[in-house]
Amino acid sequence: MKHLKFFILCLIVALFFGCASKEVFKCTFPEDNPEYHYLGGMRAIEKGDLEMAIEKFERALYCDKKFSRAYSGLAIAKAEKANKIKDRDIRKIEIERIENDLKMSKKYAENTSDEFDYYTAKIRIYKTLKTKDWLEEVEKAYYKAVDLKIDETKLTYYEGKEAAHYFMGLAYMDAFDFEKAKDKFRAVISSKQTGKWHEKADRAWKKADKITRAMAAVTVGDVGKKIAVQESITRADLAALLVNELNIDSIFAGRIPLQAQMEKTKPEFIPADIMNHFFKQEILKVLKWKIRGLEPKYDESVKAYLFKPHEVVKRGEMALILEELLIKITGDERIATAFFGHEKSPFPDVRVTSPIYNAVMNMTTRGIMEAEEISGEFKPESPVTGVDAILAIKVLKQKIIIK
């Protein structure tokens, strides 16, 4: 009986340790390891595939629950998702989970490379979430990151400390401090190593520089600054810029006869989709002047004319709108047919028979809008960026004053 009990005890111990040994070797295939999944997750974030990113980071943590960089990557992906949540309570819960992931990243950091990932994640997360005192938190994390003594060859995703400069630059862009943003992007561009962040920093520097030039001699306030950094503008954004920066009410008042002005004290009707819009008053001022391209559109689904304030403005549409303004303000009807009869277009993507050709020529020959420098394309179907809209209005305003 004693021997039997001893045998059973040994069997239990063997089974226990046998199971434990299986737990240690959960990820056995060559590409099934924490580092591989971490890099896959970071690349998925770049592509905007947040679900895939989270799946990759969770797999990395399944392989090694103490893998610091997987926690920092997971927090970045969750922050991108949380940024789209409208409900305050749900968003608050998600932010708490994100902060817990950050704590785990810090806790399990084994070296300065892990710490760099942690601090860079903090920069990216607080820039995205913009919680209370977010910029201060971002700056603290940035200075911690750049002060680390690192073997940059071990920064498997970021590849170099200039990544911290790049993301700090993006944070300053969001804070509308464009000069500081330019300094950080310049730090990336001028670093000794030419790496993965140089091209991105170069594009970002050019954008920041363009914005600072656009804001010279214009009255861009907080609304204008927010529009300036946008990759696309909406019809409502454009209405706000025309009212606040071009000041169309004052311009038209000085050029249109008094009787016609009296008839335009208000629009013919108010589209239902602007009733609660924060740019309602600006849209109403634009509507009363009946500007081609910014008039209400018939919506078949609701059988009514709507302004569609959230619809993105394309470059071809922008050319037509600005041409219309130029004609109305100058009173020169010849502008509408100035380039009729051309046999060949200077743009590979705008034919002379296109309904926007005359408008595109009017805008580009006057320097109000520009074609692509290298390809020569006008890209009529591309969205108008915020900074390009501000620059176009600035130049149009100068042309009107000169005239």
- How high does pLDDT run on average in the chain? 88
Angstrom distance (rounded) from CA 391 to CA 403: 18
Return the higher-pLDDT residue of 263 and 364: 364
Q: Where are the domains of the chain?
A: 19-158, 222-402
For residues 365-391, average pLDDT:
94
Lowest-confidence pick of 148-157, 197-206, 217-226, 375-384: 217-226
Cα-Cα end-to-end distance for the chain: 112
Grade residue 265 by pLDDT with cuts at 50, 70 and 90: low
Percent of the chain with pLDDT over 70: 88
Q: If we measure between CA atoms, which residue out of 136, 137, 199, 132 comes closest to residue 162?
A: 199
Q: Please write the tens of the pLDDT for every residue from 126-163.
A: 999 999 999 999 999 999 999 999 998 899 999 999 99
Angstrom distance (rounded) from CA 21 to CA 40: 27
Grade residue 49 by pLDDT with cuts at 50, 70 and 90: very high
* Token duo for residue 279: 């740019």
> Which residues are CB-neighbours of 59 under 8 A, at least 6 positions away?
32, 37
Amino acid at 17: F
For residues 110-139, average pLDDT:
97
As a dihedral over the C-alpha atoms of residue 62, residue 67, residue 68, residue 73, rounded to 10 degrees, the angle is: -50
Q: Is the pLDDT of residue 125 over 70?
A: yes
Task: Give the DSSP per-residue string, 338-363.
Answer: TTTT-SS-SSTTS-TTSTTHHHHHHH
The domain over range 19-158 is classified in CATH as 3.40.640.10: no
- Are the CB atoms for 383 and 313 separated by under 8 Å? yes
Return the higher-pLDDT residue of 392 and 17: 392
Grade residue 364 by pLDDT with cuts at 50, 70 and 90: very high
Lowest-confidence pick of 190-194, 337-341, 382-386: 190-194
Which alpha helices (DSSP H) does 64-196 contain, by range?
68-82, 88-107, 112-129, 134-147, 162-174, 178-189
Grade residue 23 by pLDDT with cuts at 50, 70 and 90: very low
Angstrom distance (rounded) from CA 342 to CA 364: 15
